[in-house]
Amino acid sequence: MTRPYDSINAEQLQRDADEHLLAYGTSYHPEIITSTEGVYVETHTGHRMMDFTSGQMSCLLGHGNPEVVQVIHEHAQHLDHIFSGMISPPVINLAKRLTSVTPQGLDKAFFLSTGGESNEAAIRLAKFYTGKFEIVGLAASWHGMTGASLGAQYHAGRAGYGPLMPGNLVLPSPNAYRSIFTHADGSYDWTAELNYGFDLLDKQSCGSLAAVILEPILSSGGMLVLPPGYLKAMKEHCVKRGMLLIVDEAQTGLGRAGDMFAFTHHPEDEGVVPDVLTLSKTLGNGLPLSAVVTSNSIAQHAKENGFLFYTTHINDPLPAAVGDKVLEIVIRDDLVFRSRQLGVKLQAGLKILQSRYGCIGDVRGRGLMAGVEIVGDRKTKVGAPEVGNALANKMTEMGLWAQLATIASFGGVFRIAPPLTVTEQQLDEALLIMEEALRTTPGTKPLYSLEG
């Protein structure tokens, strides 16, 4: 089968890119990507790599999933885009299917394009419902590049652009590997950290605390997993102050982290339901699709009082049809359970590598969503960006794309997130490539005898 870009003039395209593309904050991969299929991406030179970031953590079912392709073809031909005041079967079907798998209290949804847009809408909804305007984010958060979502984002993107939205406040991120809050035995004391954070918030607030927005696993922040009980304690703090809790599951949703929704994972958090849930990335399998899901009571207040978030591509049929098919496949093929099972295998494999190479300071994550932090010294936990970059280049050369972000603030953490359809054989192959890259890259600090 002939593919669209089987024959290209790569040098000319690179010149055209330099001349015509506006930079947006990251360096480009040195080769042009010309094809994707399943778990693979291929460059113009024919170099094939397993894509263990699922594109931008989005292609939950892999690239070019045949059922998704068929849905795109049918709806591009017959039901692509309509006036924003109209609704269509795919939108209604997706809302019904999605709210059938969310806990009670997440009852109504609408659909947008990007994760940033869904977080923008969620924050706007929280302000409208509460009548307050202060929004609290975690210090390692990433919620998007639009006004309110960027205002609640502290990982990157704040400096150099003038004033942000007023009323932005920050809590410390729960980082068990690096937190200064510890018990006498050295273990992580996230409760003291969270209480301290809220004590500071109360001192800074002007009395208009509207909502907290957070991710169950802070991916861009370094794959930081919220501790068991953290969400329950956070919800209690919110209720005490009349705040809403917004949970951003752009990357963790629909089974990626081993549960349909990651906020439901810990028994210690049982019964905690966010007031607003946002989804994106995984819902569209690479197409721009996001969702805002909330309670009947918040939805009713919004409807009766004229809440406005009217955009050109709200509730578009084509991406909604894709989202409905993605969710159908996740449920039908029990991919949440598969993610949980393969996640145990992935974590075990990464822990073995950690036991063999001193440059791996920490392994964390859940399901098919893992973080590997590269350090220069395990005791001081000092970063080793040159080692991380060398490892990333070696893995890429050997046919594995596992993202070590080009943005410096990502802190030398590999973010690993293969599709839920990845095979055990492909997982084994990826772990072997990682091992060989660690073995052959200077500075990885082997912890075994080279002769043994």
Domains of the chain: 10-64+335-440 (3.90.1150.10), 67-332 (3.40.640.10)
pLDDT lower than 50: segments of the chain: 450-452
Q: What is the pTM of this model?
A: 0.95
pLDDT score, position 128: 98
94 close to 327: Cβ distance less than 8 angstroms: yes
Q: How many helices (H) and strands (E) does the chain have?
A: 13, 17
pLDDT attached to residue 30: 87
Q: What does the pLDDT read at residue 407?
A: 61
At how many degrees (to 10) do helices 230-241 and 190-204 cross?
A: 20
Whose CA is closest to 30, among 411, 401, 416, 432? 401
Q: Distance between CA 353 and CA 362 in Å, rounded?
A: 11
Q: In what order do the strands lie in the sheet with 168-171?
A: 108-112, 290-294, 276-279, 244-248, 209-214, 134-138, 168-171
Report residue 275 CA to chain centroid gap. Answer: 20
Using an 8 Å Cβ cutoff, are 154 and 137 in contact? yes
**190 and 266 in contact (C-beta within 8 Å)?**
no
Task: State how far the Cα of 319 lies from the Cα of 286, in Å rounded to an integer.
Answer: 10
pLDDT (0 to 100) of residue 47 = 95
The token duo for 15 is 């010149």
Alpha-carbon distance 100 to 96, whole Å? 6
Output the pLDDT for position 406.
Answer: 53
What SS3 class is residue 63?
Answer: strand
Q: Are β-strands 290-294 and 108-112 bridged in parallel, bridged antiparallel, or unpaired? A: antiparallel
**25 vs 118, 120, 188, 393, 450, CA distance in Å?**
22, 21, 34, 20, 41
Catalytic (active-site) positions: 142, 215, 248, 251, 281, 415
Q: What is the DSSP string of 126-194?
A: HHHHHS--EEEEETT----SSHHHHHT--SS--TTS----TTEEEE----TTT-S-B-TTS-B-HHHHH
